[in-house]
Chains A and B, each alone.
Chain A
């Protein structure tokens, strides 16, 4: 079946430094890739979704590029903010709408 592998555990950054959270996937087809963000005691919210035409999705300063050759969809931001502290999940999904999530990466941004 499909699987998603993320940078595991906790990533701690100082405010203003760049963010990069890794995500790679395995699938027998070409899935859509997603990044969801989950703040403490809140529901996961969609942050980014890959495009079919290779455009780079961007939202709230975050972006991610789907590289089919390396099966990756890493999340990046040029300058971390304190409010970016949260859990980040990478997920893959196909036309049947089933999502497979990674284990999540906890991002902690400190001043």
Chain B
């Protein structure tokens, strides 16, 4: 069974640039999560979906971050006007319902 896939694996930006991250969850998993993992810290939930619906985006900086999952499968996380403080690894995870979450390899973002 294929795991969660993410792309790109690495991204380097100047402040003010935009970037999008893409996630393909495990087939059949209806729940999808996006986490931000700053260096030397644990993952912190940004947003999660059940099918195409946003369940909780309370930790998503709404002025610059957005996330969609239009068909309830793949998802895109976008950062408009990146800041140095956005430097982190962005992890996607999926799960069947509320069961165990399986993580993708992450996208490592460096904002200069």
Task: Give A contacts to B, CB under 8 Å.
Answer: 4, 36, 41-46, 49, 89, 91, 95-104
Task: Give B contacts to A, CB under 8 Å.
Answer: 3-4, 31, 40-45, 48, 56, 91, 95, 97-106
| Contact call B98/A96, Cβ cutoff below 8 A | yes
A-B contact count (CB 8 A): 49
CB distance from B7 to the nearest CB of A (A): 14
Q: Can you list 14 A-B pairs with a CB-CB distance of less than 8 A?
A: A4-B42, A42-B105, A43-B105, A43-B106, A45-B103, A46-B101, A97-B31, A97-B48, A97-B97, A97-B99, A98-B48, A99-B45, A101-B43, A103-B40
CB distance from A54 to the nearest CB of B (A): 19
The complex places the Cα of A91 from the Cα of B33 at a distance, in Å, of: 15
The complex places the Cα of A89 from the Cα of B44 at a distance, in Å, of: 12
CB distance from A39 to the nearest CB of B (A): 11
CB distance from A8 to the nearest CB of B (A): 10
